[in-house]
Amino acid sequence: MQKKIIIIFLSVIAVWVAFYGYKLYQEHGKIIPYVGQLSKAQVRDNLDVQPTSQKDAAYVGSQKCKKCHEEQYTAWKASYHSKMIQDPHQNSAVIVGDFATLPKEANFKKEDVAFTIGGKFKQRYMLHKEINSTQDYVVGNYQWNTQTKQWQGYKTYKDWYENGFEHNNSAIGTSKTCDGCHFTGYMSQGKRTEPAISCESCHGPASSHVEDPEVNPLYVASSSDPKRATEVCLQCHMRNRDKRMEHTSLAALFGDVRDYPKGYEPGKPLHPYKMPAPFEGKETGEFYGNGVGKKNRTQGNEFVQSMMYKHGITCINCHDPHVLNSTTTKPLGDAVCMKCHTLGSAIGPHQATLEEHTHHKADSNGSSCIECHMPKTSRHLPESPLTVRAHVFGFITPKETQKYAVPNACNNCHSDKSIEWADKTLDKWGMSQWVKQP
């Protein structure tokens, strides 16, 4: 009798898991604009988990961290985070642009460059500039496209607020735009402690921790609090608008609008400091109408729309923040997906073999998780190829391409085929029935 009860109990659980898994499977392609989520109070929205000892701490720089955390420091030093801002006066090799071909319309020369910004997909150049009697920096009006090996015009007004500033690159300093994310310490305390995205950018100010590590802990992102952990990355990997624009006009903020969440420190809730883009129902130069990004630095905007985010998955479940080299994952390839999404699992894929799930050969690109669920949809520069993968994780369908002009996985690979062909093929496979359009 007892054995029969156990069998019935386990059967009920199996049915419940299968049903719930199928509901997740149905919902997986649905995109819910983040702006719609902001109006709904969520558990832990206002929870501040920053250690008390950090509240009055100062930023001290990564060299202090190296003394005790040499392994993490060494890995970080080789990552792109450490190289986002570099000083060409210390190492001239950090300049990747061909200044011999710099257009004559450029407002700077090679010797004028104070710092470089980036260098993998594009490189921009910071120039010394005094603004309102304060030493600041501006970005040169040309940037180097490392993919096309050509110079392209760069005018900051195109990327930030329409008609908010004079239409030239010398009107707005990097202190209002770039420095919050690219210089450690500037976002919360207004001091350029270190020209990099270094340890304290993710763990918070460390002066008290350095004095007594045992008594004064640092913030460490944890899966026990996925919302705060994800927000450490979202502080910069999410396009936004100045939080004050919720209640204050752009005109009133003229000259002081920030492109970063001023005052935020890791462990604090992000929403008091940042108003995410896009705005409801508006296609912009940064986003397609369904919320998928057109440009880089939209991963966060996309991710918070996903089923992954809603169920506690964080950026660091897939990315190792210490060795991060843009697309580096742990472990490499589809294994990072398959450690949770095993074949036949309740959360999918529901099929017994990979070929049944993808309708492609197992060793082909068509059976790669990221090619279908993270297709390349965004560009770093208008003339560049698609290089940035979507982070909504729901399958972007050919129908969405027809409606929003957003790239889809099928036609990214089968570029010689029409959108209609891709749509009919999905119908033939029975794959369009479970995909919900937003």
Separation between Cα atoms, residue 323 and residue 77, nearest integer Å: 8
Task: Answer yes or no: are the C-beta atoms of 304 and 295 closer than 8 Å.
Answer: no
Separation between Cα atoms, residue 210 and residue 191, nearest integer Å: 19
Q: Give which of 340, 399, 343, 335 is closest to 370, Cα–Cα.
A: 335
Task: Answer yes or no: are the C-beta atoms of 389 and 383 closer than 8 Å.
Answer: no
pLDDT at res. 334: 83
Task: Answer yes or no: are the C-beta atoms of 151 and 144 closer than 8 Å.
Answer: yes
Task: Answer yes or no: are the C-beta atoms of 181 and 174 closer than 8 Å.
Answer: no
Q: Give the three-state DSSP class for 236.
A: coil
- Cα dihedral angle (277, 280, 285, 286), rounded to 10 degrees? 30
Q: How confident is the model at residue 6 (pLDDT cuts 50, 70, 90)?
A: low
Reply yes or no: is the peptide bond before residue 331 cis, omega within 30 of 0.
yes
- Which residue do the tokens 């580096």 mark? 328
Q: Give the three-state DSSP class for 357.
A: helix
What's the whole-number mean pLDDT along residues 27-35?
Answer: 38
**pLDDT for residue 167 is more than 70:** no
Region for 290 from its dihedrals, namely left if φ exceeds 0, alpha if ψ lies in -120 to 50, beta otherwise? alpha
> Which is higher by pLDDT, 325 or 33?
325
> Which is higher by pLDDT, 437 or 287?
287
Share of the chain above pLDDT 70, in %: 81
Q: How confident is the model at residue 3 (pLDDT cuts 50, 70, 90)?
A: low
Q: How confident is the model at residue 346 (pLDDT cuts 50, 70, 90)?
A: confident
What is the average pLDDT value for the chain, to the nearest integer? 84
What's the whole-number mean pLDDT along residues 124-153?
Answer: 94
* Mean pLDDT lowest among 88-97, 117-126, 162-171: 162-171
Q: Give which of 119, 122, 128 is closest to 151, Cα–Cα.
A: 122
- Give the distance between the most distant pair of CA atoms in the chain: 89
**pLDDT for residue 389 is more than 60:** yes
